[in-house]
Amino acid sequence: MDEKFYSGMAILGEPLAPRPVTIVVRNGIIDKIEDEKHVPNRWICPAFFNAHTHLGDTVAMDLPCSGDLESLVTPPSGLKHRILVETPPDLLTNGMKSSVRSMVRCGTAGFVDFREGGVAGVSFLREACKDLPCRPVILGREGGERISDGAGISSARDINSYAEIVTRMRRDGKLVAFHAGEKDGSDIDAALACEPDLLVHCTHAAPSQIRAIADAGIPIVICPRSNFLLKVTGSADHPPVREMIKQGVRILIGTDNAMFVQPDIMHEISFAHTIYQIPPVDLLDSATTGFDAAGINHSIKEGNPVNFNIFDISDSNLQFSHDPVASIVKRSPADRICARVFYIESKLIEQPLGGGPHV
């Protein structure tokens, strides 16, 4: 039996609570969590989950451009879509692979990608993720949903055939996600009527829509940096995150377009905390517990697959922190990650303390 032991101040369970423990892992599963009086100067934090990406956009990273949401990213004629069509497959695949590597370095063990380019586009992302310790949930478009985990629909107003796509996905037991409420709230009700597994943005959701989303138990992925950069918001009122939390909506965190934003969840939650003043424990929970509809949960609790990062704070000012959760959220200490322990596709992938292979 493969048995491993990890000791430190671990951020455990739901809700997140730091506690000095030794975590006993057997065959990739957390078998026991044993309390300790003394542990090394390490924090053990659940792995991050990036709930919304467009990694194909990596090939257009920081391209000088200007314009509104429609001209930049709306299918089929937005700038990003024209670039994706014109990019050779090997360059597109290598770009996505480099972004997945960057996510892993920042402690991310899984992500949800809206993948353009049909069947070929989905295949390119699968190739990009091969042999990397990060689980993709791929939501295809333009026919790519046939071979992916489900459909990532741009907006109910952009895709005339969205109802037919949803019907096919439900028949095949696949996931459905919608962009909704990014520019305004007019496409939220149509998306909500499809009973999706995930809504992305809801930047301009009205209180009645938030109530309906909460009642339906549908998570909302917020992407604050993208919203500000694309000028669909300019204040803490949009998205109405605090109202969402008050109403009981499950909030997830995404980085959205790699064209504009680095896919680094720690920077995303730091920005969200600064702008929206959401309690750090809520943000870290949103960024780590995963995506239930896809069977992903990164919480550190007995019986769960092991997916966590170990931060070495022994030679850092972080050793003076009074709140590891707040420090991880506010200070984005990716440089302190000294080990990643991920259980991906029934394989335990460990980058040992003190070094190990770089991804």
pTM assigned to the model:
0.95
Query: What's the pLDDT band for 359 if we cut at 50, 70, 90?
Result: very low
Query: What's the pLDDT band for 63 if we cut at 50, 70, 90?
Result: confident
**Burial class, 266, CB count within 10 angstroms (exposed 0-12 / middle 13-18 / buried 19+):** buried
pLDDT per residue as tens digits for the range 119-136: 999 999 999 999 999 999
Segment 47-51 shows an average pLDDT of 98
Report whether pLDDT(311) > 50: yes
Query: What's the pLDDT band for 82 if we cut at 50, 70, 90?
Result: confident
pLDDT score of 65 = 66
Count of Cβ atoms closer than 10 Å to residue 355 Cβ = 9
> What length does the chain have?
359
Whole-angstrom distance, CA of residue 72 vs CA of residue 83? 10
Which has more confidence, 40 or 354? Answer: 40
Which residue segments constitute the domains of the chain, with CATH numbers given? Answer: 3-47+298-351 (2.30.40.10), 49-294 (3.20.20.140)
Report whether pLDDT(339) > 70: yes
Segment 185-200 shows an average pLDDT of 97
Q: Contact at 8 Å (CB) between 254 and 239?
A: no
Grouping H, G, I as helix, E, B as strand and the rest as coil, residue 224 is helix
Helix axis angle, 280-288 to 324-331, nearest 10°: 70
Segment 162-186 shows an average pLDDT of 97
- R_g over Cα of the chain: 20
Which has more confidence, 29 or 63? Answer: 29
Tokens of 166: 């949803």
Report whether pLDDT(189) > 70: yes
DSSP state of 314: T
pLDDT score of 357 = 38
Residue % of the chain over a pLDDT of 90: 85
Report whether pLDDT(109) > 70: yes
pLDDT score of 350 = 87
Tokens of 172: 């095949």
Whole-angstrom distance, CA of residue 328 vs CA of residue 250? 21
pLDDT score of 352 = 62
DSSP E strands, the chain:
3-12, 17-26, 29-35, 42-46, 48-54, 108-115, 135-140, 150-153, 175-180, 198-201, 220-222, 251-253, 256-257, 290-291, 296-297, 307-312, 337-344, 347-351
pLDDT score of 191 = 98
Order across the sheet with 337-344: list the strands. Answer: 29-35, 17-26, 3-12, 42-46, 307-312, 337-344, 347-351
Segment 325-337 shows an average pLDDT of 96
Phi, psi (5° rounding) for residue 10? -95, 140
pLDDT score of 281 = 97
pLDDT score of 326 = 98
Report whether pLDDT(14) > 80: yes
Helices (H) and strands (E) in the chain, counts: 12, 18
Segment 215-225 shows an average pLDDT of 98
Query: What's the pLDDT band for 1 if we cut at 50, 70, 90?
Result: low
pLDDT score of 86 = 79
pLDDT score of 73 = 65
Helix axis angle, 324-331 to 265-276, nearest 10°: 100
Query: What's the pLDDT band for 314 if we cut at 50, 70, 90?
Result: very high
Query: What's the pLDDT band for 30 if we cut at 50, 70, 90?
Result: very high
pLDDT score of 50 = 98
Helix axis angle, 265-276 to 280-288, nearest 10°: 150
Segment 222-245 shows an average pLDDT of 96
Closest residue by Cα to residue 46 from 71, 12, 79, 23 = 12
Query: What's the pLDDT band for 77 if we cut at 50, 70, 90?
Result: low
